[in-house]
Structure 1
Amino acid sequence: MEKLLKIMHRLRRECPWDAKQTHQSLKPYLLEETYEALESIDEENWDELASELGDLLLQIIFHSEIASEKGCFNYDTVLEKISKKLIERHPHVFDKEIVKNAEDVQRNWEHIKVKSEKRDSLLTGVPATSPALLQAQRLQEKAASVGFDWDSIHPVMEKLEEEWNELKEAAETGSLEKIKNEYGDILFTLVNLARFLHIESEDSLRLTNKKFIKRFNYIEKKYDNDLNAMKSAGLKEMDRLWEEAKNKE
């Protein structure tokens, strides 16, 4: 770690590109590296994951170096804060708190977080910039930590059917505002359903996107990436190739 810190310190002094970066200019890279790490996990490419985690660590070092130059904080501050947080939020490990299961641990984490950070709301800690599906799941998890939740998956299924009917009614009105609201309600309920099924909505959709890309690429290759040929073939023929690609998986 000391070696990496020294490298970054030197880059900030001697490399024109590194020297001109700011917290704001680095935001896209932080997000990009995070998603590249997620992709490595999805593909179970552990060598690549090691590389991507290094890229993520670089972003942490980079931001810490910039903050240090401004006299705000440094890398040691980052380590101190996360160490303190982990100890405070695991009283069942570092103190005498008793928990029965992982759900108890999560509830304690949320309650300690609200108390220690003096937040006005349990939901304040969910970043507004989070991907919408992830944001919805975190909001639901936090609300559930104080008992605002369904008792089982069955009411969620019923709620989904209710929201689906409301969307159909909204679609018949032609009102984009109503359609948008009802569609959002369906997505929120689907996220809730995913939570009861113990899966992450964001992960599920990302995997489906990946599957779509793979199958569509199969169709493209059949037409040698000739877009005009694809248009001429029509939906029925391309759908046949889609099923062909699906059966090869």
Structure 2
Amino acid sequence: MPWISERLRRPDGCPWDREQTHTSLRKHLLEEAYEVYDALEAGATPELAGELGDLWLQIVLHAQLAAEAGVFDLADVQASIASKIVRRHPHVFGDAVARTASDVNRQWERIKADERAAEADAAAADADGVVAGPRSALEGISPSMPALAASQEMQERAANLGYDWPSIDGVLDKVAEEADELRRAATDAERAEEFGDLLFVLVNVARRRGIEAEAAVRAANAKFRRRFASVERAAADRGVALRDLDFAALDALWDAAKAEEKKT
């Protein structure tokens, strides 16, 4: 694969590929990642193989650009992840013991924290000789991540360090509290803030129940799309436009679509 990207980038290669930069390729990387995500929902299909290949191409292209700049190449990328996986699996490649997935997660976060601390110690001191302080456990969570996924990752990291409700009941009580605060919010700014707080706590409910919040909302979106399409078809069969129906009529069509879906 590297020889293909190198060939594409030659002066006599592809005009489009020659013009690409790390910045210009970012949107393509994100698009391909989402297409892999969509394909995963259908399971291990031939389409998934193709989408993984498209994503792999983006990785190869970024490695090629870095190689041309003399920074790193694809072999460095592979060596980096191999080293990280071995380092963070001492229960497999070393003498550590981790009997459950929870043990592995806690160990993983401890190792990451140690790595962050080591990187902070190794970071150059500033001009006054002041060494940088420890890095946050939340560092590395990209601001470009989907908001629900980022929220769940932050709360998972905090929980691994002991900052978590003792039981799900405390989280559910917090949901009720945040919902009440949203209800009482008086200004647009307050409503936006309280709505964000409510969503954040709901993500914590998902985390405690082993639910991937981002995937759950995507599934809810897909369900709404299916049922709303059924409502549209039902209205069309009756020769009426949706805009001409009141809420009660639309809700009745929705309930019918829901009931029909549950039969299948």
Q: Fold-level match, TM-score > 0.5? A: yes
Could you say which residue in structure 2 is the equivalent of 1:65?
Answer: 64
Whole-Å separation in 1 of the counterparts to 2:114 and 2:46: 40
Could you say which residue in structure 1 is the equivalent of 2:158?
Answer: 143
Could you say which residue in structure 2 is the equivalent of 1:194?
Answer: 206
Greater share of helix: 1
Could you say which residue in structure 1 is the equivalent of 2:3?
Answer: 6
Moved over 6 A (4+): none
Could you say which residue in structure 2 is the equivalent of 1:181?
Answer: 193
Question: What does 1:78-97 align with in structure 2 at a 5 Å threshold?
Answer: 78-97=77-96
Distance 1:50 1:205, change over 3 A: same
**Please, which runs of 5 or more residues in structure 1 have no aligned partner?**
none
Question: What does 1:1-249 align with in structure 2 at a 5 Å threshold?
Answer: 4-13=1-10, 14-44=13-43, 46-117=45-116, 118=119, 120-170=135-185, 173=186, 175-222=187-234, 229-249=241-261
Whole-Å separation in 1 of the counterparts to 2:229 and 2:20: 37
Distance 1:224 1:17, change over 3 A: farther
TM-score by length of 1: 0.91
Residues 73-117 of structure 1: CA deviation (Å, up to 9, x unaligned): 110000000000001101111111112311121111112112223
Q: CA deviation at 1:44?
A: 2.7
Q: CA deviation at 1:199?
A: 0.6
**Please, which runs of 5 or more residues in structure 2 have no aligned partner?**
121-134
Residues 203-223 of structure 1: CA deviation (Å, up to 9, x unaligned): 000111111112222233445
TM-score by length of 2: 0.86
Moved more, 198-207 or 35-44: 35-44
Larger RCO, structures 1/2 (Cα 8 Å, 6+ apart): 1
Whole-Å separation in 1 of the counterparts to 2:232 and 2:69: 51
Structure 2 residue identity aligned to 1:86? I
May I ask how many residue pairs the two structures share in their alignment? Answer: 241
Q: Note the aligned Cα RMSD (angstroms).
A: 1.8
